[in-house]
Amino acid sequence: MRSAAVTPEGDHIRWVELPGQEPPRVYVHGLGATSPAYFTEVAVDPRLAGRRSLLIDLLGHGLSDRPATFDYTLESHADALATALEEAGVSGAEVIAHSMGGSVAIVLAARHPRLVSRLVLIDANLDPIPRAPGSSGSSGIAFYSEEEFVNGGGWEEVRDRVGAHWWSTMRLAGREALHRSAFHLTRGSVPTMREMLLELKIPRTFLLPEDDGPLPGVDALVEAGVSVVAVPDCGHNIMLDNPEAFVTATAAALEGR
């Protein structure tokens, strides 16, 4: 495990690093997840192995520190991630990022273009979403006020409805980190993640579950050069639900096919 201080207070982002050739690959998890748990199986597949690979945990999640003073906006997540990558000597990385991590990766590429040479986004959030009571995702977490979530029973209610699989990693996240990350994910960025993605000039691929149907706004994305790939037999966690199809699609994206 490796780490880098990313805040003035000395809070650390941590990652598991697999040795290999440059340019590096950076794997970024979604809300309440952790990259080693979600990406190790696919990162070591022979079709993706051989590159220096950083399976990195965003601040507030997984192996990384969970400061209660950090604001956890998408922009702050991206800037903290950029600091960690710079400390690791990373530039021109191929970034493979899931869900909220995909949103952070888009902001990272827009704000720190030297660090990112290619994006593979896995069912990433591109637009603000409404907050909804009872949802197990970011919209349900963000429906609570921070006080309600941290101290008023919201954390326990989310624990009881997300299921054992997601909770196994969500429980590692700081309560303030989880709520603020969810809140700012529902709020989105300015400009929106979709608008930034449309303007990026690097190769970009968006993977989504085939059963979800057409991606909203797909025509504009394709016209802007984004490759949109529907992956069969999976849900939101494509790399876990169908690792074979995920590796096939991701390897093709990284090879420019």
pLDDT digits (tens, 9 = 90+) for 156-202: 999 999 999 999 999 999 999 999 999 999 999 999 999 999 999 99
pTM value is 0.98
Q: What is the pLDDT of residue 174?
A: 98
Q: What is the pLDDT of residue 114?
A: 98
Distances in Å between the Cα of 131 and the Cα atoms of 60, 123, 142 are 21, 19, 6
Number of Cβ within 10 Å of residue 44's Cβ equals 12
Q: Measure the CA–CA gap between 138 and 130, rounded to whole angstroms.
A: 10
Describe the chain by its helix, strand, coil percentages, rounded to 5.
Answer: 45, 20, 35
Work out the mean pLDDT of the chain and round it to a whole number: 97
Closest CA to 7 of 175, 172, 177, 155: 177
Q: How many whole angstroms separate alpha carbon 178 and alpha carbon 155? A: 9
Distance, in Å, from the CA atom of 48 to the CA atom of 81, rounded to the nearest integer, reads 22
- In this structure, what are the phi and psi dihedrals at residue 28, rounded to the nearest 5 degrees? -130, 125
Dump the DSSP string for 84-144.
HHHHTT--SEEEEEETHHHHHHHHHHHH-GGGEEEEEEES---S-----TT-SSHHHHHHS
Three-state DSSP class for residue 158? helix
Task: Give the span between the Cα atoms of 104 and 137, in whole angstroms.
Answer: 17
Bigger pLDDT: 47 vs 256: 47
Please choose, from the candidates 251, 255, 256, the residue with its C-alpha nearest in 3D space to the C-alpha of residue 231. Answer: 251
Give the separation between CA 135 and CA 161, rounded to whole angstroms.
Answer: 8
Radius of gyration of the CA atoms of the chain, in A = 17
- pLDDT tens-place string over residues 15-74: 999 999 999 999 999 999 999 999 999 999 999 999 999 999 999 999 999 999 999 999
pLDDT for 136 equals: 82
